Structure 1
Amino acid sequence: MYLAHRPLFPSSNNNNCTKVMSDRGITDYNGNCKLMNTFIGAPIGTVRDICGTGGQKYFNKKKPGVRNLRKSRAPFNIVVCRLKDATVSPCEYEGAAYNRHIVVACDVKGDPVHFDRFLSYYPAEESVELVSVF
């Protein structure tokens, strides 16, 4: 479930990524070190609101068949944990904190089920990247 994968980051200190990723057992689908994971620093209800009045429809040109994406109306505090070196075990991460609009996919009940991305641009621009996938 989406909210289980995107819990609050335990503090505003983004240097905790290695511990948080390890403590929560966050890996890729094969059980290997995950390249990147984004944590949303907001109450669950606030994230759910993106699927309602706290968000607006969003179209991702790279995913034209996906129609259930919603962009947050307000920016969120997020921490992006990136793998430092994919060839070294155990997994070691470094984090970066941002305040960005986020895009989530919503199910028919109006619950967020997938974190699609955060937007690294101001709303007037049309340049998007930095994708996070489960």
Structure 2
Amino acid sequence: MAMAPTGPHPVLLLPLVLLTTGLAQLSKGASASYQQFVRQHIDHPKTSAPNDRLYCNLLMQRRGLTRRRCKPTNTFIHAPAGQLRDICSSGGRPVSRNLYDSNRSFSVTTCRVLPGSRPGRCRYRAATGVTRVRVACVQRLPVHLEPTYLP
């Protein structure tokens, strides 16, 4: 009488493989969203420009936020990426679901599009200040910046 080989059964391995693949995809998605967050919102040290208006025009274009349309509003945070990552753990406090408020204030520049701007000719006004920020976190990484209100 022949004995069946012992060891992992292929049917039992399939859910494990699917689960592992799904977790890898989720991790990959969070990482991609974090990289987009960094591109759109972190400028440290602050890029030099003759004035804040020109700073916004330059950074919005340089970061690809004016290609298909002139992004109406965007805030750049002038702090190291690690300080923003910390908001999702010890450097922030949970507000609701995956939203966290920073424990500390950050230097920021908020760029708002001027009327009549069109892709290729996007023009912005700037507001600078120091404020706390609210971010959405996925897997302890900031992936979204809630609107930051400056005068």
Tell me, yes or no, whether TM beats 0.5.
yes
Indicate how the Cα distance of structure 1 residues 11 and 102 shifts in structure 2: closer, same or farther if over 3 A, else same: farther
Task: Measure how far apart 1:116 and its partner are.
Answer: 1.3
For residues 144 and 102 of structure 2, what CA distance do their matches in structure 1 show? 13
For residues 119 and 34 of structure 1, what CA distance do their matches in structure 2 show? 16
- Counterpart of 2:40? 5
Extract structure 1 runs of 4+ deviating beyond 2 A. Answer: 11-15, 117-120
- Counterpart of 1:43? 80
For residues 142 and 125 of structure 2, what CA distance do their matches in structure 1 show? 26
Does the CA-based 8 Å contact 1:102-1:119 persist in structure 2? Answer: no
- Counterpart of 1:64? none
Asked which structure has the greater CA Rg, the reply is 2
| Percent of aligned positions that are identical | 35
What TM-score results when the alignment is normalised by the length of structure 1? Answer: 0.73
CA deviations over 1:28-80 (Å, ceiling 9, x no partner) = 8xx11111100011000000000011000114xxxxxxx00000001111100
- Counterpart of 2:60? 21
For residues 41 and 92 of structure 1, what CA distance do their matches in structure 2 show? 21
Q: Structure 2: which 5+ runs fail to align? A: 1-32
For residues 48 and 100 of structure 2, what CA distance do their matches in structure 1 show? 26
Indicate how the Cα distance of structure 1 residues 111 and 88 shifts in structure 2: closer, same or farther if over 3 A, else same: closer
CA deviations over 1:83-108 (Å, ceiling 9, x no partner) = 011x233110111101011000010x
Does the CA-based 8 Å contact 1:79-1:98 persist in structure 2? Answer: yes
What TM-score results when the alignment is normalised by the length of structure 2? Answer: 0.66
Paired residue total: 110
| 2:87 matches 1:57 | no
Q: Structure 1: which 5+ runs fail to align? A: 60-66, 121-129
Q: How much is the aligned-residue C-alpha RMSD, in angstroms? A: 2.1
Higher helix share: 2
For residues 22 and 119 of structure 1, what CA distance do their matches in structure 2 show? 22
Does the CA-based 8 Å contact 1:50-1:56 persist in structure 2? Answer: yes
